[in-house]
Structure 1
Amino acid sequence: MKSVSDVTALFVPRSCVDELHAHLRKVGREGHEGLGLWVGRQTGHHFQVHRTLIPAQRHIRTGDGVCVVIGPEELHRINVLLYREKLMLVAQIHSHPGRAYHSSTDDAYAIAATVGCLSLVVPDFARAPFDLGNIASYRLDGAGVWRSLTVEQASRMISIKE
């Protein structure tokens, strides 16, 4: 049986990257974090992203910082969509106002919670072009821990295709 943890190569169409990045940049201009998901199908060790999903999201700004929240109804809608279309969630991508890192909130409230899923954090509200060299990349291990990937590891695994 195939598992996301078996994936060694992730192919992402440029259009999916552009759609996601445009969303992150738009909400970033308003001073908010944004979030998107990459979904698709797996064949052996390869995963082909077919769509970017931009969930309905609530943006929160407090004196302690910013965050993005996806409600339970939206999570249910996404799960039904994935089941009906026979798609799998492989990555969650969200922005931070400053540097890119996985916060304790990111660890605790991840949407992509299957072992092997990726979590990518885009710095500076996505002001700069999408570049794996500037993004913090993490992969969920079998113990439920988000393990940091080096830029080299992320670049070997993720291919953006025109």
Structure 2
Amino acid sequence: MSAPLLELPPALWDATLAHLRQQGAGVRESGGFLLGKVQRDRRVATHFLPYEQLQHDALQADFVHLSAASFGRLWDYCADHDLDVVADVHTHRYGAGQSRSDSENPMLAIAGHLALIVPDFAQGPVHLEEVGLYLYQGTHRWQRFRGQPVTTLIKFAAAEDTP
């Protein structure tokens, strides 16, 4: 796989990490959806929508939990702003591997959905090769990317380069 799976402006990535870092405060998971446009195999993120904006108590447990009503709010937000869900991103305490819960319960159970996991609750500098990138294949199967491949599958593009 040579083409990037995800494109986004560096400022959006930095702002997303800053939000995850602050919201999780180094003690709990945090996350949200990267929104933008999906065109065939090209996914371009232009916005970040934190989980807690969809459901105020989404981060109250040791893991992220969104109710069905939260997904209704997500789809309404996307429709109102002409956006698609490009990926979900959340933090883990230590590494960027998927938990069993992550693997068995994708945020969007649609083949082609991307999930990113940021290690160490996004505390301190986050290098792209430390991020876990997961491409949902359907029926609880994922294609997993870790380490150096992630740096070629996520492309930082200036906002004017994105649709």
TM-score range with shorter-chain normalisation? 0.7 to 0.9
**Structure-1 residue corresponding to 2:161:** none
Structure 1 residue 109 corresponds to structure 2 residue 117: no
Displacement after TM superposition at 1:15 (Å): 2.3
Letter in 2 for 1:147: Q
Letter in 2 for 1:109: N
Q: Percent identity?
A: 24
Q: Secondary structure at the match of 1:84?
A: helix
Once residues 52 and 8 of structure 1 are traced to their aligned partners in structure 2, the CA distance between those partners, rounded to angstroms, is: 19
Q: TM-score, normalised by structure 1?
A: 0.81
Letter in 2 for 1:137: L
Structure 1 contact 90–112 (Cα < 8 Å) conserved: no
Structure 1 or 2: more strand by fraction: 1
Which of residues 119, 141, 148 is equivalent to 2:137?
Answer: 141
Q: Secondary structure at the match of 1:101?
A: coil
Corresponding pairs, count: 152
Structure 1 contact 112–119 (Cα < 8 Å) conserved: no
Displacement after TM superposition at 1:158 (Å): 1.1
Structure 1 contact 12–48 (Cα < 8 Å) conserved: yes
Q: Runs (4+) of structure 1 moved beyond 4 Å? A: none
Structure 1 residue 33 corresponds to structure 2 residue 22: no
Which of residues 119, 122, 140 is equivalent to 1:123?
Answer: 119
Displacement after TM superposition at 1:30 (Å): 5.2
Once residues 45 and 120 of structure 1 are traced to their aligned partners in structure 2, the CA distance between those partners, rounded to angstroms, is: 17
Q: Secondary structure at the match of 1:11?
A: strand
Q: TM-score, normalised by structure 2?
A: 0.81
Task: Please tell me the root mean square deviation across aligned C-alpha atoms, in Å.
Answer: 2.1
Structure 1 residue 19 corresponds to structure 2 residue 19: no
Displacement after TM superposition at 1:85 (Å): 2.8
Structure 1 residue 59 corresponds to structure 2 residue 59: yes
Q: Deviations over 1:104-134 (max 9, x none)?
A: 1112332132211111111111113232211
**Structure-2 residue corresponding to 1:75:** 71
Letter in 2 for 1:58: A
Unaligned runs of 5+ in 2: 159-163
Map 1:42-57; keep pairs closer than 5 Å.
42-56=38-52, 57=57
